[in-house]
Amino acid sequence: MEYEAVIGLEVHAQLRTDSKIFCSCSTSFGADPNTHTCPVCLGMPGVLPVLNERVMELAMKASLALNCTINPMSVFARKNYFYPDLPKGYQISQYELPLAEHGWIEIETEEYGKRRVGITRVHVEEDAGKNIHGGPDDPHSYVDLNRTGVPLIEIVSEPDIRHPEEARLYMQKLRMILRYVGASNADMEKGELRCDANISIRPKGSTELGVKTEIKNMNSFRHVQRALEYEIERQIEAVEAGERIVQETRLWNVEKGITESMRSKEEAHDYRYFPDPDLVPYVVSDEMLERVRSELPELPDAKKERFIEQYGLSSYDASLLISSREMADFFEEAAAACSSPKAVSNWMLGDLAGHMNADGADIEDLRFSPKDLARLVTLVDEGKISGKQAKEVLTVMYREGKDPDTVVKEKGMEQISDEAALIEVIKKVIAENPTEVEKFKAGKKKVVGFFVGQVMRATQNKANPKVVNQLLVKLLEEA
């Protein structure tokens, strides 16, 4: 029997604020344990949360970019459970009335084409801390509350995803959008983007939903895809073997490459959600919504279409150039400063990408400006340097951050196109090779190549070969 998977993703993204959601502690990563804490995020008796407005602005930006409708009123709720990394004994989240609902993002695969994945809701919540367990000789556990109260949004998708590859693409697209609008750095390695998946299988063509499992701990795009591929196989094998799928939470074991049962439905928490009486409902005015909307940058899909239209790029090249806002901006600035956007694109996606990939560098790390790249393109266009030389110049630009004119000068690369200068050299070469001149006169036109080689050697390859060719024929005929 042929099966199809039904996948929904719950993604947590850390919002890019300097301070936490309900206190003024820093959100920066990597500090010594419990140094970014205060009575509020430590959950001390009697303290109260005060909402950081910046959090809601970023969450709204993200929601709008995900095509969601912002609810005029959203309500913070308490999610109650005991765990040492949760100092209040509850997490402040949103439940019945989330900030935003009913969005979608579009993904495209070669195999399955363009598809829309629905977004059920986006809600705002605080992060928990981190438990650290002592080593084999240390029976203690420790708690680091630096992360407690760091602002997150949870983005819950509809069960619209059918293939593990689509799940990966959804995550990547989501990351790109969040980064575009500046809502999140979405760095998976730093845990700024985390993903849980709900997954079930059913016979292809069926509209009923199977029993789902929840997969946690997939901390890279690759692992999202691999974990889901594994889980689909596991579920199919189980069903084929006549077993029943149990509703449970499973952990992706990176080392073993398998998912493992963590807890069953019966062990699930009753979170006893209720509206947090310490916070008032969050009301979004039309003015506020309009302001946030007006601050949204051009989003990736729109940018891609425009790049194809405006610069005549291929869909593939455009999609690479818009992969980050910085990359796209770099391209546009360079394209504006020269007359060949296509050439800029080729350089960026060719040699420059090669350098950057080799170093694991980002566009932000470049030591030269978009104008410098534009200048390089112009130098080639105007015949000042050859394409081969340009590659060399770009390497120096990339390594040393020098502008192309400086590199060309330092390397003595300018082509000699000046006719007067070249005529002198050519005359000298003709005078030195009377035998070859006779051959030319006898009709052996091929010897022109010999003369070109001589001129190039005499000019250390700086002569413009096109100009040399023209002049040589003329002067040989006159000789």
Partner 1 sequence: MDGFFTISEAKAMFEKGEISPAELASKVAEKIDKVEGKVKAFVNTYCDEMLDKAKGLKEPKTPLWGLPIAVKDNICIKGKETTCSSKILKGFIPPYDATVAERLSAAGYLLVGKTNLDEFAMGSSTENSGLFTTHNPWDLSRVPGGSSGGSAAAVAAGECVAAVGSDTGGSIRQPASFCGVVGLKPTYGRVSRFGLVAFASSLDQIGPITRTAYDAAYLLSVIGGHDPRDSTSAKVEPFSFENAVKEGVKGLVVGIPKEYFSEGLDPEVKEKVEGAISQLEDLGVRVEEISLPHSPYGVATYYLVATAEASSNLARYDGVKYGYRAEGVKDLMEMYLETRSKGFGDEVKRRIMLGTYALSSGYYDAYYLKAQKVRTLIKRDFDKAFETCDAIVTPTSPTPAFKIGEKMDDPLTMYLSDIYTISVNLAGIPAVSIPCGFSSDNLPIGLQIIGRPFDEETILRLAHNYQMVTDHHTKIPPCGGE
Please, what is the minimum distance in Å from the beta carbon of residue 135 to Zn ion?
29
Query: How many residues sit in the footprint of Zn ion (CB under 5 A)?
Result: 5
Alpha-carbon span 471 to 453, nearest angstrom: 14
103 binds, among partner 1, Zn ion, none (CB under 5 to 8 A by kind): none
CB count, 10 Å around CB of 16? 19
Q: What does 217 bind: Zn ion, partner 1, none (CB cut-off 5 to 8 Å by kind)? A: none
Shortest distance, position 87 Cβ to partner 1, whole Å: 6
Nearest residue (CB) to Zn ion, 50 versus 73: 50
- Each residue 9-48 as x (binds Zn ion by CB under 5 A) or -, in order, gives --------------x-x------------x-xx-------
Determine the angle formed by the axes of helices 53-65 and 286-294, rounding to 10 degrees. Answer: 70
Q: How many whole angstroms separate alpha carbon 123 and alpha carbon 76?
A: 9
What is the Cα–Cα distance from 103 to 87, expressed in whole angstroms? 33
Residue 71 Cβ vs partner 1, minimum distance, rounded to whole Å? 19
Chain contacts with partner 1 (rule: CB under 8 A): 39, 42-51, 78, 80, 82, 84, 87-90, 141, 143, 270, 272-274, 277-280
- Selection from Zn ion, partner 1, none that 238 binds (CB < 5 to 8 A by kind) is none
Nearer to Zn ion, 41 or 335 (CB): 41
Output 279 or 456, the one with its CB closest to Zn ion. Answer: 279
Nearest approach in angstroms of CB 276 to partner 1 is 8
Contact status: 92 vs Zn ion (CB under 5 A): no
Please, what is the minimum distance in Å from the beta carbon of residue 270 to partner 1?
5
Q: Which two tokens stand for residue 50?
A: 């005060």
41 binds, among partner 1, Zn ion, none (CB under 5 to 8 A by kind): Zn ion
Q: Which does 25 bind (CB under 5 to 8 A by kind): partner 1, Zn ion, none?
A: Zn ion
- Least separation in angstroms between residue 253's CB and partner 1 is 23
Looking at beta carbons only, is 9 or 145 nearer to partner 1?
145
Is residue 331 within 8 A of residue 310, CB to CB? The reply is: no
239 binds, among partner 1, Zn ion, none (CB under 5 to 8 A by kind): none
Give 41 or 188: the residue with its C-beta nearer to Zn ion.
41
Residues binding Zn ion (CB under 5 A)? 23, 25, 38, 40-41
